[in-house]
Structure 1
Amino acid sequence: MTPESKVSIFAHHTEHTGDVGRPNRDFKNYYDTINVAYENQLNKDISLHLKAGYRHYDRNWEEDNFPVNLSLREKDRVVQHIFPADVFVNYEHTEGFLLTIGSDLQHVSYKTETETNGIDTTGNDVNADACGLYVQEKLIIDNWVFRVGGRYSYTRHDYDLIGGSEPSEDSKSWDRFLWSTGIRYNVSKDIGIYANAGSTFLVPSAKSVGGTLKLSDLGMPGKNGQLPNPSLKPEKGIGLDLGSDIRLNGNLQFGARGFYNMIDDAIVENVVSGNPSQTRSVNAGESYAYGVEIEGKYQIDNMLKCFANTTITKTKVENDVDSDQDGSDVPFVPDIVANFGITASFPYEVNISPYCQYIGRYYDSTSKGGRNDFGRYVIMNMKAQKQLYQNRDFTADLVVDVNNILNKKFEMPWQFQDPGFNTLASIVVTF
């Protein structure tokens, strides 16, 4: 590699295997992630950036005939392959001006299978492709920073099978122009004020449309998963935020941001049944989310610093057609999330960060009559990092995450329970 170029590679594999406490309820889940990034400063004004990746999700589980008996009824499988890529160029074409032009694309395949008495049946077989073209101009004038950008997005879904049958409409496509803008004023080198606004657009995922179950599985004992909803519409909205960041006496950093998001035809995940555990994605009319984020960091000395942050969110769903949803909350959005911890630095490039996290109340559905509430718990975690090797070409770090140190087990949606104490170790190599 030349001094003007840089390559980074990230790879991660996770296996999650076990059972749910009965003879024919085993599960085996495999998850893979690969990220590759390349940067090259072509000349003093132009830089090239390339990113690509791969995601692989392979979930396998068994279903029995409970409560009639515990014999094996079927084996189910969901497989997803995701290939994202992005390329963009930064061009400093005039003093204070930075132009960014780029394009991104993504291909996704989604397939569900069921094996019953040795016979394999495909439930859903869907391919999705998305691409976009975007441009952004940033201008710096004295203490002011201005930003404006636009994006054209196109998405296409091809449905070979939905719920085990060929759908009457075998493909759908959407396209939309999106915009964003922002402004920042640096009052001094230690104080900045900023504001941003932009539009959003999200098409329903193949999993939300096709589900992992059939429509006829609604309420069937032992049929756990997601019900299909072929009539889902895309959601669109507007987001705004206003904030400030402040540095005091060199050791204390403070930031605050208020936000407001409005979404029309919001896609939310509703719990249809607790037993069997079934959900369905639905359009919930208009939804609003507003709140504030506050964070602070303090460098106590050369070896010790502390940090704290919290996000307070209020949500609301408006649905004139369904009074049971009108005035409800957006599901799976906690009203409060807070973190507090310290980072201690030791000799031999060792850093240890114990911290606690509070998750406030959240719901599993927009149905005021049928929803359940969760959350309101505190868990203790710790992250440790040790530099293993460093030279001018790359560094290698050992990272160990210790989660839920006190082994607290609490109820979660879809009949899940927090697994309690768990650890994750990884080696991060940066080129």
Structure 2
Amino acid sequence: MHNSKRQKQSGIRRPRTKAVLYASVTLAIGLAGVSLSASPVLAQAATVYSVPAGALDTALTRFGVASGIQVLSDSGTTSRLKSPGVSGARTPNEALSALLSGTGLTYRFAGQKSVTIVNPAADVGIHTGATQLQAIVAHGERAGWGPVDGFVAKNSLTGTKTDTPLMETPQSVSVVSAEQIEAQNASSIGATLRYTAGVVGETTGAADTRYGGLLIRGFDMTGEAFYRDGLKLPGTSYGDFQALDPYGAERIEVLKGPASVLYGQNGPGGIVNYVSKRPTDTTFNEISLGAGNFDTFETQFDFSGPFSEESDWSYRLTGVGRNAKSQVDFVDDDRIFVAPALTYSPDEDTTLTILGNYQRDRAGWGLQFMPALGTVFDNDGRSIPTNRFLGEPDFDYYNTDQGSLGYMFEHKFSEDLTVRQNVRYSHLANDQAIIYGGGYLDSATGELSRWSDKGSSRLNTIAVDNQVQYEVDTGPLSHTLLGGLDYRWTRFQDISDAYTVDPINVFDPVYGSDPVFSRHSNNTVTSQNQVGLYAQDQIKIDNWSFALGGRYDWASTDLDNRLAGTEVDKSVSAFTGRAGALYTFDNGIAPYVSYSESFLPPLDVSATGALFEPERGRQWEAGVKYQPPGFDSYLTASVFELVRENAIRWDAVGGTWEPRQTGEITSRGVEIEAVASLEHNFNLRASYTYLDVEITKDPDGGNKGRWPTAVPQHTAALWADYRVESDGFLDGLGLGAGVRYVGASYGNDANSFKVPASTVVDASLSYKIEDVILSVNATNLFDKKYVASCFNETFGCFYGERRRVMAKATLRW
């Protein structure tokens, strides 16, 4: 007999009748003749707990999440009991004693990470020959991958690759839960990050039907930072996996700062980790229908559960279908997304989860390259409309298909030794034809020159991450050791052709120009192999938590330029390290300090066909984390200095885009973030970021001492929502509101002009009637017209998203 180990939606295991297992556990205790008093836990490190009084099962789940300890209990014994709760910094022994106070139960540790709740009366029954036929329920297991109850995540795997409380992770990690994504009706990765400190997820405006651009801590991380379930999804010059629909995510996590020690080749800003929805251990069904402005019609569905009551298999099927236009004329935004998943748990120690997805986007080219004159500045009292399309309706398109298939395997050889293997194959196919602005020919009349390009990308990548985790004590020190070997192979082909096209009047456009082929501009095949060997030690002693890590990377890149008939290759290697220390005071305050490094061999090539030197990054960070006792909340404040060497920037030259490698960019900043899910169904998220970013070396560009484009000095956001619970007609009414501020940014590297700051308001209204939720969301409620960013004055400005309204009806059963 065995007991399944799958994760359920609430984070609590589904009770299953496993008589032999439970009887053997209690019988072993009785035959050992050991006292039923609480046994000592192997590592007496204190953790900050915030578990309110209430149901004992819920309290044990919260304890398991906060401590990282698996709690086994008899569902028949615990299901009707209440716990007085526990708060403040406590050792596991102290916390469990407090939680079980008054219940008549005690506990026994089987190892560092496993504890069994024991009923002394039931144990007497064992001695007299009675057999206990109750279920074992596991609480708080692998919380870092699981669903978040409300807005506040307690654990994360992204920061350390082990299931570690955020309060014990000495680096900034932000978690956006599925509940927050739903509450804000976020339909893109950039939109999910609107209220996250240190991140600007829509630098090119939400009308960008590709992926919207991404800044983390002042650095452009578009195409470099996106991961799914801890495995990297690299992009090409034309296409990117970052368009993945957020409805398929259980949570979106941002690890800020260099992360190469655990994740290999990436830029210094950080990573965005898309954590996929996984099969649940209880049946869960959801379907919604929605409609909104821009002729938007959308359906979403999410079905999950075990195949049968006693099955070792469970499933999940998540999907989105959308037919829509956008705020830009002639630009569609249609999508089909489906993500099947299967989990097999033959016993308590083994789990295999198979994850797949397919996404089909059929859209126009939403990114319009506007001049600053007419967007940022008035053009003789005139402004270019935000819905203006600068292309040709019969020519422009932007079509992408992406898909992946992989698995996540875990096996525990003992309570202390665990092995994992995560594997994924991913494919991206992009075809596009675009016409975009090239600057005024006559600003007085509004006549604008245009460039045109048609191209395609085909990308394939395989990623494998092998991990061994071992937990051991050495004297007073408790260690969580992690060793890993990962491999990634990426191959893609970018093809593009340049076209000539007639000008257009931005104030009175006349369409119908037929672009004429000019020349083949690009046909390159790029292949890269990367191998990394890494190790990490998380050490706990009393109230101290330490993290030490190191990694060595080997990478080889091959570029086949089929137009020039040349082939170049480059092999590089590098060591990166990370170290951090954190101390948790008894009042819940935890100051920390850390140092981390990054390493990135670029896939981009110069205009001459040469491969660039690897980018390097290094960061010092110090901060404080706080979990107020008795409140389900999490607050962080941090300061950092982050340096990016050999940074790559993109310029438009003669109608084509060319990368160049600058010397160095330094970013210093302050981040403050607070998230709370309080009593009476009140959720809150607030953030503030201050940046001081400077181009500190630029041997060829002459921009030393200047501020990089599109990077705001100040950003701030606040969101709050509340659902009424009463006996009257207001019961089930939900209200939400948010405000987002993005400060002014420079519109070019010469810093000759600024894009003004913008403030927009979001709002939501919902009503829950039994299993049905009716909701309306509005982003940019007051329809503010603003420019999201510019990268040059001539043709490089992008409008932000105007008001978007979406009404939905959701059924859950």
TM range (shorter): 0.7 to 0.9
Of 553, 559, 564, which aligns to 1:165? 564
Tell me which moved more, 95-104 or 1-10: 1-10
Which residue pairs with 2:628 in the alignment?
A: 248
Equivalent position SS for 2:409: strand
- 2:640 maps to which residue? 259
Could you tell me whether the CA contact under 8 Å between 1:191 and 1:244 is conserved in 2?
Answer: yes
Counterpart contact for 1:325–1:368, Cα < 8 Å: no
The question of whether the paired residues in 2 share the 8 Å contact of 1:271 and 1:364 is answered with: no
Q: Compute the TM-score of the two structures, normalised by the length of structure 1.
A: 0.76
Instruction: Decide which structure has greater helix share.
Output: 2
CA RMSD of aligned residues (A): 4.1
Letter in 2 for 1:264: E
Closer, same or farther in 2 for the Cα pair 1:399/1:110, shift >3 Å?
farther
Indicate which of 302, 319, 340 corresponds to 2:718: 340
Deviation at 1:156, TM superposition (A): 1.3
Paired position in structure 2 for 1:196: 594
> 1:190 and 1:145 mapped to 2: Cα distance?
14
The alignment status of 1:314 with 2:692, answered yes or no, reads: yes
Structure 1 distance, partners of 2:766, 2:396, is: 34
TM-superposed CA distance for 1:198, in Å, is: 1.9
Shift of 1:127: 1.2
> For the Cα contact (< 8 Å) 1:324–1:368, is it kept in 2?
no
- Unaligned 5+ residue runs, structure 1? 216-227, 388-396, 427-431
- Compare 356-365 and 186-195 and name the one that shifted more: 356-365
Q: CA deviation at 1:146?
A: 1.6
| Deviation (angstroms), 1:137 | 1.1
AA aligned opposite 1:256: A
- Residue 30 of structure 1 is matched in structure 2 by 400
- Asked if 1:128 corresponds to 2:528, the answer is yes
Matches of 2:640 and 2:683, distance apart in 1: 28
Residues 110 and 152 of structure 1: CA distance in aligned 2, closer, same or farther (over 3 Å): same
- Structure having the higher strand fraction is 1
- Asked if structure 2 preserves the Cα contact closer than 8 Å seen for 1:315 and 1:330, the reply is yes
For residues 138-195 of structure 1, the C-alpha deviation after alignment (integer angstroms, 9 at most, x for no partner) is 1111111122111011111111116x2133x521111001111111111125111111
**1:139 maps to 2:542:** no
In structure 2, distance between residues paired with 1:319 and 1:82: 34
CA distance in 1, matches of 2:774, 2:431: 28
Q: What fraction of aligned residue pairs are identical, expressed as a percent?
A: 19
1:53-72 CA-partner distances (Å, limit 9, x unpaired): 32525141145999999999
TM superposition shift of 1:272: 3.7
User: Which of the pair has more CA radius of gyration?
Assistant: 2
* 2: CA distance, partners of 1:373 / 1:185: 42
Question: Is the 8 Å Cα contact of residues 197 and 241 (structure 1) preserved in structure 2?
Answer: yes
Alpha carbons 1:24, 1:71 under 8 Å: kept: no
Is the partner of 2:626 in helix, strand or coil?
Answer: strand
1:209 aligns with 2:568: no
Q: Name which of 51, 71, 95 aligns with 2:422.
A: 51
Q: Would the aligned equivalents of 1:24 and 1:72 in 2 still touch at CA under 8 Å?
A: no
SS of structure 1 residue aligned to 2:456:
strand
Q: Higher mean Cα deviation, 94-103 or 246-255?
A: 246-255
Q: Does the CA contact (< 8 Å) of 1:229 and 1:282 recur in 2?
A: no
Instruction: Give yes or no for the alignment of 1:290 onto 2:663.
Output: no
Equivalent in the alignment of 2:680: 302
- The answer to which of 19-28 and 92-101 deviates more is 19-28
Does the 8 A contact of 1:270 with 1:366 survive in 2? no
Number of the residue aligned with 1:18: 364
Q: Given the alignment, which residue of 60, 65, 83 partners 2:432?
A: 60
Which residue of the other structure, out of 366, 391, 398, is the alignment partner of 2:749? 366
Q: CA deviation at 1:292?
A: 0.8
Structure 1 residues 187 and 65 mapped into 2: Cα distance closer, same or farther (>3 Å)? Answer: closer
Q: Which has the higher contact order (CA 8 A, sep 6+)?
A: 2
What is the rounded CA distance, in whole Å, between the counterparts of 1:146 and 1:291 in structure 2? 24
Query: Match of 1:392?
Result: none
CA distances 1:395-427 after superposition (whole Å, capped 9, x unpaired): xx999986545554543444543453558999x
Write out per-residue CA displacement over residues 108-146 of structure 1, whole angstroms, 9 at most, x where no aligned residue.
Answer: 222222468899966111112212110011111111112
* Cα deviation 1:252-311 (Å, max 9, x = unaligned): 6432111111232222x24446xx765433222122111111112355532113221112
The 1:291–1:74 alpha-carbon spacing in structure 2 relative to 1, beyond 3 Å, is: closer
Counterparts of 2:762 and 2:754 in 1: how far apart (Å)? 24
Deviation at 1:236, TM superposition (A): 1.6
Distance 1:128 1:240, change over 3 A: same
TM-fit CA distance, 1:42: 3.2
Whole-angstrom CA distance in 1 between matches of 2:458 and 2:419? 34
Partners of 2:541 and 2:681 in 1: how far apart?
Answer: 38
In structure 1, the partner of 2:165 is none
Residues 38-117 of structure 1: pairs in structure 2 closer than 5 A: 38-53=409-424, 54-63=426-435, 75-94=454-473, 96-114=478-496
Q: 1:402 to 1:37 in 2, by over 3 A?
A: farther
Partners of 1:361 and 1:376 within 8 A in 2: yes
Q: Runs of 5+ in structure 2 lacking a partner?
A: 1-344, 366-388, 442-446, 500-515, 726-730, 791-795, 809-813
Change (3 A) 1:154 1:408: farther
Separation in 1, partners of 2:750, 2:540: 48
1:71 to 1:193, Cα distance in 2 relative to 1, 3 A: closer
What secondary structure, in the 3-state scheme, does the structure 2 residue paired with 1:173 have? strand
String of CA shifts for 1:319-351, please: whole Å, max 9, x gaps: 363573110123343222222101334679998
CA distance in 2, matches of 1:173, 1:286: 22
The question of whether the paired residues in 1 share the 8 Å contact of 2:651 and 2:660 is answered with no
Could you say which residue in structure 1 is the equivalent of 2:88?
none
Structure 1 pair 147–37 and aligned structure 2 pair: CA distance change class (3 A): same
Q: Give the corresponding residue for 1:4.
A: 349
Which residue of the partner structure matches residue 222 of structure 1?
none
Any idea what SS the aligned residue of 2:605 has?
A: helix
